[in-house]
Structures are given as C-alpha cells and as structure tokens.
Amino acid sequence: MPTSTLNANGFVHCKGIFSHNTVSSIRAHANSCTAAERQNSAHVVWRPTGRDLLGFAEIFTHKALVETARAALSPHVKMSLLEVLSTRKEVETSTRACQPSMLGFDPTSGVGVHRDGAWIERDLGVLLPPRLTLKAAVWLSEVGRSQGNLRLFPFSHALDRATIGTLDLAPSNYYDVLADAGDVTFFDRRTLHTRTWNDSSNERVAVFIEYSVTWLRRKQRLWVPDIADSGADRDLVRELLSEPADPWSCYWP
C-alpha cells in the first residue's frame, strides 16, 4: 500500500481491494445485522459484537488492510473499532444541524468536520501527536458526491489544534472520495473529515474499521468468546481481537 501518500496527505484511496463476491457476501451480512435499525432511520451506525463481528473477519483480516495498518502504526496492531454504516436518501429539510463543511461533529447524523479522538492531543500534551490509529473505510456500494460520501481535508493531519480553528474549509481545500464497491479509503485519525448528506436514491453502505497501537483501549467492546468459526486466519483474528494482559495499562482514546 502507498504509505508515502498516506504520510503526505493524511489519506489514500485504493481501488478494487475486494472482489465482487466478497462485497456481496459482506453487504448481505451487514444488511441482515442492521435490518431492524434500517427500518427506523435513514442513517444507521451499528457496532457488531460476538458472532456478528466475526462475520466481518474476511475484511478486517485482509492482507492489504492489516499490512497497511502495521506499516502506518506498528508491527503489532489490534482492531479498535468496527462500524457498519448504512445511509439511505435523507430528506432535505431546514432543520439540518450543520452543513458538511462546518467544524463541529453531530453524532446523530455523522455530519460535520471533525478529527477522531482529538482529546488524545490534550492528554499527551503535545502539539503534533504521533499517529496512533488508522481507519479503513471499506465501501460496499458505489458512492458519489452528495451520496453520503467521505470528505477529507488534505494535510490536516499535520495541523496542531490551534491551527485547525483557522482552517479554510472552502471546496478548493477538500477532497471528496468517489468510490466503487470494493474500494478502500485509508485515513489518519488526525485528518479532518466528514460525510456529506445523501441526497440520492442510492443507499450508501460501508464498513469503517479502526486499527490502533496495542496500548490504546478499544472504542468498542467486542464480546467474542470463541473465534473457531471466524472463517479466517485464526491466529490473526486472535491477535487483532485479543485483550491486553493488563487492562490498566491502556489509555482510553
């Protein structure tokens, strides 16, 4: 994977990582797991656990993802988070909390420019903290502009907290990810990003996987008692999902 581009821009988009068959299988699993939530909301964020989580092992253990995480972070990484996102057409209303290119994340809609885990900088007490996590957006549907696509701000991973507040969020300064099913977008957690509203009739489906250095406490309780039926490399699944021997040594990100 082109880690030089990731280092320079704060993100890199990779075409055709997953086959059509894998995309179809994982999307069917994602749809099955989120069926109830999708009936009640146009935008669903779901964090699987147990056997539901193991149904995604084919993608979170994929060589391209794991090797990119190791190259970007450390030879030893773990999975910190896996989220399934499903976004159908969102009704245009005047009550939208914020536009996609405004600082300030709305957790209900997932819209608003933000940096993941920004309080890590506060706790470490440094202006430019090291890269501690890497996210991989696995696209299970085609996504175009104004279809809930990922919007990223190049070079923003290298900005300190004071500078972010003065950042120009004009269209010329951001990059809209246009993806085909099977593509993967890797991005540094420090890179400012948001999603756009989905104004199309196409459902946007993606799985966001976060890998981290091993001393960070997970953002998600995995509850996976047995990996025997993971359908993937058991040793790698065990490595990515294992809990630390001393949980008190882990910082909560």
**Of 225, 1, 229, which is closest to residue 134 (Cα–Cα)?**
1
Reported pTM: 0.91
CATH of domain 3-249: 2.60.120.620
Q: What residue spans define the domains of the chain? A: 3-249
DSSP state of 16: -
Strands (E) located in the chain: 11-14, 43-46, 77-87, 133-139, 150-152, 175-176, 184-188, 193-195, 204-213
Alpha-carbon distance of 140 to 26, in angstroms, equals: 8
pLDDT digits (tens, 9 = 90+) for 7-27: 999 999 999 999 999 999 999
Question: Percent of the chain, pLDDT > 70?
Answer: 88
| pLDDT for 97 beyond 60 | no
pLDDT digit string, tens, across residues 191-226: 999 999 999 999 999 999 999 999 888 888 887 777
Q: What's 158's DSSP letter?
A: G
